[in-house]
Amino acid sequence: MLTATQKRTAEAIVNIFETSEVRGNYGSVTVIAEDTGHLTFGRSQTTLGSGNLHDMLKLYADNAGARFGGMLASYLPRFLERDVTLDTDVHLHNLLRATADDPVMRDVQDVFFDARYWAPAARAADREGITTPLGVTVVYDSTVHGSWTAIRNRTNAACGTVAAAGERSWISQYVKERRAWLAGSSRADLPPTVYRMDAFQRLIELDAWSLTLPLVVRDAEISLDALSASPRGCFEGPVPGTRVLAVQAPLQRGLDVRLVQLGLSRRGVDIRADGIFGQGCAQCVRSFQLAQGLPATGSVDAALIVTLVG
């Protein structure tokens, strides 16, 4: 059985593969051309196409404390139908980004991904007799990324079962088989992901079977400090209306900026709700002000915040 730190390290490795972040990017919204999953969202990038994204968002929307639950609820029937037009719904994408600021969403994602991906991976590893933290992480990665069973069968055909080959030899062969399968896939989105197996091969070469910290995976440092840090891009404050928003040096960042951007997006302004008030954001504010007959200052005072955020 993995320790709590080994489990968090395993999750961090897959987070890095998915979003380049040790803690994961809870607000990551991605649409990759030719990806059968279509719209993907969250710390471990769950997909519209699989139906899992609907299930996770419903879990969030059903929580009485969910800040954006009501806004997302209207989208749930379309998620249930796996409506691929959601791939291009800019306001929805901004809404999903904003939910990452809500601790309820972060907790929901942690619980959901644990139940939907980690627990099945741990059971699958146990059935095969895979016990090392690195070996379990390889199984977990394939559970998230897909095709664990098919590559397991290919590996058994190549070198025998885990019991026959020995776990370390079997995992090493599995990584080779999966890399070859990814590289040779006819799906355009899969060959570029061979980096996942390259990273595992490097950890095997380093004899990092116990996932002893610190580790470096794809140039990201996994340490106790990194595992305990606040997720990047999630904002707890400032509260909207407590400051005027304008382009400054350094740039203003925070919850108030994100909610203003979301309010603009809801009103049809083409803006990315990243929580950063830069020149592009200021230009969008000016355009909105002109359309509303307001002075085009490009800054957001308390009155405009009330209009956009409520």
Domain residue ranges in the chain? 4-227, 252-309
Q: Give the count of alpha carbons within 13 A of 271, CB side only.
A: 31
CATH fold match for the domains 4-227 and 252-309 = no
CB 48 within 8 A of CB 37: yes
Q: How far apart are CA 294 and CA 127, in angstroms?
A: 66
pTM of the model: 0.84
Kindly state the average pLDDT of the residues 164-174. Answer: 98
| Sheet strands (E) in 125-201 | none
* pLDDT given at position 81: 97
4-227: CATH number: 1.20.141.10
For 25-34, 188-197, 242-251, which range has the lowest pLDDT when averaged over its residues?
25-34
**87 contacts: CB under 8 Å, gap ≥ 6:** 31, 38, 39, 48
Q: How far apart are CA 1 and CA 7, in angstroms?
A: 9
Kindly state the average pLDDT of the residues 91-119. Answer: 96
* pLDDT given at position 10: 98
* pLDDT given at position 69: 97
Q: Is the pLDDT of residue 3 over 80?
A: yes
> Would you call 253 helix, strand, or coil by DSSP?
strand
Q: Is the pLDDT of residue 227 over 90?
A: yes
Q: Are strands 46-47 and 40-41 parallel, antiparallel or unpaired?
A: antiparallel
Q: pLDDT band for position 45 (50/70/90)?
A: confident
Specify the CATH number for 252-309; select among 1.10.10, 2.40.128, 1.10.3470, 1.10.101.
1.10.101
